[in-house]
Structure 1
Amino acid sequence: MAISAAELLAELRREPDVEAPDLVAVDATDRLLLDTAERLPEQRVVVVDDAYGALTLGAVAAGARDVRVSQDLLVGEQALALNAGRSGLTGTYRSAPLDAGLFDGATLVLARAPRALDALRELTELAAATADPGVTVLVGGRVKHMTLGMNDVLRAGFTEVSATLARQKSRVLVARGPRPDVRSSFPRCRHDDALDLDVCAHGAAFAGTRVDDGTRLLLGALDGAGQDARTAVDLGCGTGVLAAALARSRPDLTVTATDQSAAAVASARATLARAGLDRVHVLRDDAASTLPDGRVDLVVCNPPFHLGTAVVTAAADRLFTAAARVLRPGGELWTVYNNRLPHRAALRRIVGPTRVAANDRRYTVTVSART
């Protein structure tokens, strides 16, 4: 007997992502988006940034038959696949990159509101340019995280933009009527004079074309990192700035840049290509899971401190554990983090002896030696 959408949503899990008391697999935004969607069995549905499968599998359970999904985070793809397997819905959707092909002919787009306006802007441009002229775009989020700027971004691509009433502190923006001659402007690139580097970014990449202050502090300390290193990994590479700096300053160093974000990987590739550093290997990977144990001399990392909108240490701890696994004995992890976070104790416990290499009023750079 087919499972109902309500039954399915109740069974979804976050696995293999981090579990915590304030983190859920399905939230009020997912439910409101699905309830706002009309005539799902008749729609060609595109889902963007489904967290753990609620939107994709909920649409399928409601009768949708042509469902394409793009998820920025690899762990989200993995969670969706696991949830689909548990619910008997494997093969009922197709994963695809966030590009024009994803939206080709789509009549309904279900998207969770991204934190960055540029991520919404990239989605808007792609949908307006290639979706069906009658497409409806639904963008849902928590009311406290939604801004009037989101309406303005959607209006740049669509003639009609409205908002639903709030429900359980969530709201959906509704966009219709694609404007003519809209084209994607991503990736965008900007020259950083201090680094003499063109930083390229897709919409969802952390910090966009800007180099954040923590990364700058870490860059300033890297001259003393792993002097005898032959192999290095930029773990959670973002737009590839750290990988570019290492590869450019050390021509004999073999550098790998890895991130679970599809936008980060695409951005890093663009940044490195502009710098003529195609020899850097860039891969989409969750916590370096495909790299072998004990082979790396140097790991550099600017770890995230948010999971969605929650501030937790588990995401950074996963990267520290990954660094400890791939480092050879005596190898070094150089990382930067906000001063208020208790990472130094975790680094000692997970990696090995840890010392401070640099700090300022907001950030600390530490060096941890693999024992």
Structure 2
Amino acid sequence: MEFEYERLRRWPEVEAPNLFASDAADRLIADLAGDAVTEPGLVVIGDGYGALTLAAAARGARGIRVHQDALTGERALDANAETLGLAGTFEHRPLDDSLVRGARTVLLRLPRSLDALAEIATLIAEHARADVTVYAGGMLKHMTTAMNAVLAEVFGEVSASLARQKARVLTVREPHPAAATVLDRWPERAFDSETGLWVCAHGAAFAGTSVDIGTRFLLTVLDEAVPDARTAIDLGCGTGVLASALAVSRPELRVVATDQSAAAVASAAATASANGVAGRVAVVRDDGLASQPDASADLIVLNPPFHIGSAVHTGIAHRLFADAGRVLAPGGELWAVWNSHLGYRPALERAVGPTRQIARNPKFTVTASRRPA
């Protein structure tokens, strides 16, 4: 019986006609893995909205260990499992040895970051069974031969399938635990001389140990942002550079760093620790600001994404603006940096309140939006 991929939804992630809950790579991975998924020791990594996990469960797999970096992905998987009557067939795990220890079969959606792939590959090679087989797939437009090379560093066999519907799968066997131990380096850490901050990053964290150019531009004016603030939130914190910068420069400030990415949250916590402010930066994995009380923050800083996966889409930014409008205290401000061509100012006015330009360069605009008192 064919698995009903078309019944999967992306909720609570943004849904739109050009955004899908599964694709040809999910189907090809599932088809090539076949009945291997029903054997004990199945692990699924990088499942967007549950297609790999639930197709395996529908085939009879149970006790599936699953890691998804995005919190919205976890919630979508849970919701889809309820809809399809497959709740209880899997459990969420962090990206650590408990996820892959003793794994016999791993279904992996290839991450676009080579560092993320290297972190996953070394973890599997160190802790999975010696006879583990990894089915690592993606859409051709997002795959490179460098991925084969990363996998070949810690596995003896990497073979590519024929392409199907613009998707391909790499089948990987023969882990080399000794090689994996040598290459295991996460979180990485680097000193940024311009900011005076240590930046720590797990493989899947955006920008790695560098400071992305939008964040760097916002940092140039951050001292001007609500100087008398007592509470601040780094929304979509990534590696936590803005949160740590605020905590270092304002010892009286209580800072929350929040992101839905497990890699980002782990990285931000490491960054705060590396800069000696772990005691004043609370790091939270959250869908936007869902867990934050209304009218509770004097300052929110934000460098919003404008992609959902590989698709250019501003839906996430608009959701984050709305969250900021709810969570800001009266008179509080959202300081945001955004690509100027996106023209976010009207949306910020609607979601938060009166918005003024703070800085602008050839690529980015920094604005401050004040919630009315």
TM-score of Structure 1 vs Structure 2, range by shorter chain: over 0.9
Q: Which of 66, 77, 80 in structure 2 is aligned with 1:80?
A: 77
CA contact (8 A) 2:61 2:89 kept: no
Report the equivalent of 2:11.
15
User: 1:149 and 1:46 mapped to 2: Cα distance?
Assistant: 24
Partner in structure 1 of residue 208 of structure 2: 208
The answer to whether the 8 Å contact 1:49/1:71 transfers is yes
Map of 1:367 onto structure 2: 368
Q: Alpha-carbon deviations, 1:82-104, whole Å to 9, x = none?
A: 11111111111011000111110
Counterpart code for 2:323: A
- 2:107 maps to which residue? 110
Distance 2:157 2:349 in 1: 54
Q: Which residue of 1 aligns with 2:189?
A: 189
Query: Which amino acid is the alignment partner of residue 194 of structure 1?
Result: E
Distance 1:113 1:5 in 2: 24
Partner-residue secondary structure (3-state), 1:128:
helix
Classify the secondary structure of the residue corresponding to 1:258.
strand
Q: Secondary structure at the match of 2:3?
A: helix
CA distance in 1, matches of 2:23, 2:276: 44
Q: What is the 5 A alignment of 1:124-163? A: 124-163=121-160
Distance 2:248 2:6 in 1: 50
| 1:158-237 mapped onto 2 (5 Å cutoff) | 158-181=155-178, 182-183=180-181, 184-237=184-237
TM-score normalised per structure 2: 0.96
Task: List aligned pairs for 1:292-303, cutoff 5 A.
Answer: 292-303=293-304
| Contact 1:44/1:64, CA 8 A, preserved across alignment | no
For structure 2, the 5+ residue unaligned runs are: none
Q: Name the CA distance, whole Å, in 2 between partners of 1:118 and 1:345.
A: 37
Instruction: Measure, in 2, the Cα distance between the counterparts of 1:339 and 1:125.
Output: 39
Q: TM-score, normalised by structure 1?
A: 0.97
* Alpha-carbon separation, structure 1, partners of 2:23 and 2:343: 29
Question: Equivalents in 2 of 1:147, 1:359: separation in Å?
Answer: 36
Shift of 1:180: 3.3
Structure 1 window deviating more from structure 2 (188-197 vs 122-131): it is 188-197
Find the counterpart in structure 2 of residue 346 from structure 1.
Answer: 347
Distance in 2, Cα, partners of 1:157 & 1:360: 44
Unaligned runs of 5+ in 1: none
AA at the equivalent of 1:152: A
Helix, strand or coil at the partner of 1:340: helix
Structure 2 distance, partners of 1:139, 1:342, is 38
Looking at structure 2, the residues matched to 313 and 345 of structure 1 have their Cα atoms a distance apart, in angstroms, of 13
1:43 deviates by: 4.4
Quote the offset at 1:266 in angstroms. 0.3
Whether 2:276 is the aligned partner of 1:276: answer yes
Are the aligned partners of 1:5 and 1:61 in contact in 2 as well (CA < 8 Å)? Answer: no
Identical columns (%)? 57
Which of 22, 31, 35 lines up with 1:35 in the alignment? 31
Distance of 2:199 and 2:124 partners within structure 1:
25
Whether the 8 Å contact between 1:5 and 1:62 is mirrored in structure 2 is no
- In the alignment, the residues of structure 2 paired with residue 231 and residue 188 of structure 1 have an alpha-carbon distance, to the nearest angstrom, of 29
SS in 1 for 2:334: strand
Compute the displacement of 1:351 (Å).
Answer: 1.0
Structure 2: distance between partners of 1:333 and 1:165: 49
Q: Tell me the CA shift for residue 164 of structure 1.
A: 0.7
Amino acid at match of 1:84: A
- Deviation, structure 1 residue 302: 0.6
1:356 partner amino acid? Q
C-alpha displacement of 1:66: 3.0
Counterparts of 1:43 and 1:254, CA distance in 2? 46
Q: Deviations over 1:315-359 (max 9, x none)?
A: 111111111010012110001111221212211111111111112
Partner of residue 241, structure 1: 241
Aligned residues: 367
RMSD: 1.0
- Report the AA paired with residue 22 of structure 1: N
- 1:306 lines up with 2:303 in the alignment: no
Counterpart among 42, 50, 69 of residue 45 in structure 1: 42
Q: Do the aligned partners of 1:236 and 1:258 also contact (CA within 8 Å) in 2? A: yes
Q: Which moved more, 1:344-353 or 1:76-85?
A: 344-353
Report the Cα distance in structure 1 between the residues aligned to 2:97 and 2:104, rounded to whole angstroms.
14
